[in-house]
Structure 1
């Protein structure tokens, strides 16, 4: 794997699993020397496939792979919203650069049909897109009673508290201000709101909690990587984003056994479960839903269908099938519907060696 900059915790986890991580140490978006370093790395390792994730790695990685002569080049798009791409405003320049380097790839994977539709509207040819969702390691986010008790104690919460929790970057799109305002009248001696994450909105959100007189009942836990532990500390999960491309945190909460209230979650389209409740993106409607679930106090339970759809093994099999089919055709673009099943996958002999590029 190659990380263009800020390799971080994910790269450390991958390295611990025995996979070599190359950190290119980019310091700016226009560091063109990184393109040649990537090309040299790909040529030296003679990869069969290069798979890029996120905007910067798609721009640099797809072009470097083409220059290195890699036969299979695939990109995955996670974060194309209605107005922003990974917190970048969708300017003409951003769009044209993305589309220009997309011509180097045979396929672009969209993590949801919502993302696929936005890619097509943006100008990516429909025949190039494949919908393959993010995979979830269900064991990694499973409920843990011991971790629940430890995390609550660490954050000043007791087992007697009812905890409404959110997990994510504190930025305007997440609309945590809406949640604080909706939840404020419901927060009492036995009910707390726990926000896990950090970001530019934190100071403003702390001010909103003070304005509503609930500063002592809203806990800001900051950035944490122990996802299973903090989800286990919750009793009810809420996601109130203005827009989402997938909704990973909602699925992780459900995998932990929680009830999840959400305003938008493309990953749940077509999934029939009463464990996930779509709620209005305004105060009164959200407050009513919060009150109803807090009063009901439903116990933890699983949604088996989610594992079938989003289990890591099922998702990686689909991606492997795509690699194999593309390699069998020596990188030629696939026809609509090809490589969607494992039956069409195993047509090339030997294992596929690949390089992931993350920006």
Structure 2
């Protein structure tokens, strides 16, 4: 191999574009960015300044360009389109890869001279005017992108129905959790949970799609059990106040923890994991729970059945009675929990890891964008990472 040839075998560079994110999408972009950089592929990441602060794109070695793309459409989208055009003019790349519908819309409206790949991570669930606008955007993005990737099979099918020129299943791996830093007893002691008391854990953004009110309603029924299970929900988001009020009104044994960075520790202390969403693709917490060997109860929606196989108990979405029954059955069945704890890591072993994901994406990039414009400027040069940092100040 020539000393100048990238270790990936692809001589191009890529701009990764994302909208506002506090969870799975941002973590995925961070994982892909690290993997591409490790393979010698130059990477520009563009997105809201807060995403760089949370996910460390520049710290990983990418050039970061702040472009504000909020979670919901606003008139400021025109500024985001202009900012992306400016970034691509200042530093040409071989390909643009947008993550999520909001970033995908900005990318295709910018009409770059290079191919655009869009990964759809979520389904459009909103109703009313917002839902109609989002579905129009979904159709436009699917028809405008060179390749549309879906994080689950139903998203791929949806993109194809909307007229995508090339719709494929996206390789999306959950970043590996670090080993727990605290023992099970220490984690439980933080929340005053006794050794014999079940600890039920859920992790995710506090958003209507996650349907945490179902977990609260079911947990209120568990007050009759002895000992009463403790339910912890880690995450932040717009549903916090409504959930807090519901927990108080129902006197449910649920504690909202806010944003946590110690999910591995929380899983080490948990007896059961729960996902109550109306829809998910490759839900991050579900993957983390199975990898950690924590029995999982999840809704049978989106890509979750394919993801977990027979290594979790699946219940219908929106059904508090079914959730209640499934959790009770597992709490009363230690052998069943042990069997799920065994199956979880076995199921996870068949998932693509971060290296597999980056290799598949690099092969896709090479397939549709074999040319190689100039690479992003290195840190310390005009327009490089240092300059981008000054622009964010």
TM-score normalized by the length of structure 2? 0.72
Structure 2 residue 232 is matched with structure 1 residue 194: yes
1:287 Cα offset (Å): 1.8
CA contact (8 A) 1:110 1:130 kept: yes
CA contact (8 A) 1:160 1:190 kept: no
Aligned runs of 1:18-33 on 2, under 5 Å?
Answer: 18-25=61-68, 29-31=74-76, 32-33=78-79
CA RMSD of aligned residues (A): 3.2
Structure 2 residue 91 is matched with structure 1 residue 49: no
Partner of residue 38 from structure 1, selected from 84, 87, 90: 84
Partner of residue 314 from structure 1, selected from 326, 341, 356: 356
Taking the aligned partners of 2:95 and 2:144, their CA distance within structure 1 comes to: 13
How many residues align? The count is 323
CA contact (8 A) 2:151 2:282 kept: yes
Structure 2 residue 139 is matched with structure 1 residue 96: no
Aligned to 1:205: 243
Q: 1:275 to 1:29 in 2, by over 3 A?
A: same
Aligned to 2:383: none
Look up the SS of the partner of 1:286 in the other structure: helix
Q: 1:285 to 1:37 in 2, by over 3 A?
A: closer
Partner of residue 291 from structure 1, selected from 325, 328, 340: 328
CA contact (8 A) 1:151 1:230 kept: yes
1:38 Cα offset (Å): 1.6
1:351 Cα offset (Å): 11
Aligned to 2:180: 144
Q: 1:101 to 1:148 in 2, by over 3 A?
A: same
CA contact (8 A) 1:183 1:290 kept: no
1:218 Cα offset (Å): 1.7
Look up the SS of the partner of 2:156 in the other structure: helix
Aligned runs of 1:261-340 on 2, under 5 Å?
Answer: 261-270=297-306, 273-281=309-317, 282-297=319-334, 298-299=337-338, 300-301=341-342, 302-328=344-370
TM-score normalized by the length of structure 1? 0.78
Aligned to 2:48: 5
Q: Which has the higher contact order (CA 8 A, sep 6+)?
A: 1
1:114 Cα offset (Å): 1.1
Instruction: Give 5+ residue unaligned stretches, structure 1.
Output: 331-349, 355-359
CA contact (8 A) 2:172 2:357 kept: yes
Deviations along 1:245-274, whole A, 9 cap, x unmatched?
Answer: 333321221112111101124434446754
Taking the aligned partners of 1:41 and 1:154, their CA distance within structure 2 comes to: 46
Taking the aligned partners of 1:26 and 1:112, their CA distance within structure 2 comes to: 24
Instruction: Give 5+ residue unaligned stretches, structure 2.
Output: 1-43, 377-393
Q: 1:131 to 1:291 in 2, by over 3 A?
A: same
Taking the aligned partners of 2:275 and 2:354, their CA distance within structure 1 comes to: 23
1:289 Cα offset (Å): 1.2
